[in-house]
Amino acid sequence: MTEEKIWMQRAKKGETAAFEQIVTAYERRIYALALRSTGSEADAADLTQEVFLRAWRSLNSFRGESTVSTWLYRITMNICIDFSRKKAFQTVPLADEEGTELPLPDTRVAYSPEAALEGRELSNELQTALGQLTEEHRQVILLRDVSGLSYQEVGKLLSLEEGTVKSRLARARRKLRSILIKRGNISLPSASKEQERRQENG
């Protein structure tokens, strides 16, 4: 049995010192993950506190079937996904290997009232479209494109092979793009134009 799982056993018995060992061991990594997801040091600090508070309250849910780190990362991503749904999304491309691309809005910095309004409208459209995806498609987009996790990290959290993550993400992006095009409330670059732009910049 690993040292961390011994800490977990002791923490389950109410030993706060043992749980503090877990916090000390993982606090920086959880904070880094939250910062990567939110882009805000203040929000990342708040979410890190929430992660360990939720972990303390749900110690009995840890059965030892996964590592302590995976258990904590799942709690972190659930909290970060909830946070992402409530906040404006980052500017990251929803691009697949075929060249289709969707820019997500960045409303954290408003350069003008018009830009802020455009960002809010795009955020609203994306949140509506995400709500029409299946849970597995929505989850992989939030983890990879909103939270910025690597394919390997997403695979570990969802118990999927890296290749499965890539193929699922490609399908999810195409479906999201299709929903947005059908809604017709925002303009999107066509795949051919996007490929041309990439070739020009390449």
Please state, rounded to an integer, the average pLDDT across all residues of the chain: 75
CA distances to 50, 54, 83, 173 from 57, in Å: 11, 5, 19, 36
CATH number for region 3-86: 1.10.1740.10
In the chain, what are the domain boundaries?
3-86, 113-194
8 A C-beta contact, residue 87 and residue 175: no
Residue 51 burial class via C-beta count within 10 angstroms: exposed 0-12, middle 13-18, buried 19 and up: buried
CATH of region 113-194, choose from 1.20.1080.10, 1.10.3720.10, 2.40.50.140, 1.10.10.10: 1.10.10.10
- For the CA atoms of 42, 44, 50, 53, the dihedral, rounded to the nearest 10 degrees, stands at -100
> Stretch 4-19: mean pLDDT, rounded?
91
Helix, strand, coil abundance in the chain, percent, nearest 5: 70, 0, 30
Q: What is the pLDDT of residues 101-123, one digit of tens each?
A: 454 444 333 334 444 445 556 66
| pLDDT confidence bin for 21, thresholds 50/70/90 | very high
| pLDDT confidence bin for 49, thresholds 50/70/90 | very high
Matching fold, domains 3-86 and 113-194: no
8 A C-beta contact, residue 145 and residue 176: no
Position 81, amino acid:
I
Q: What is the pLDDT of residues 29-48, one digit of tens each?
A: 888 878 877 778 898 899 99
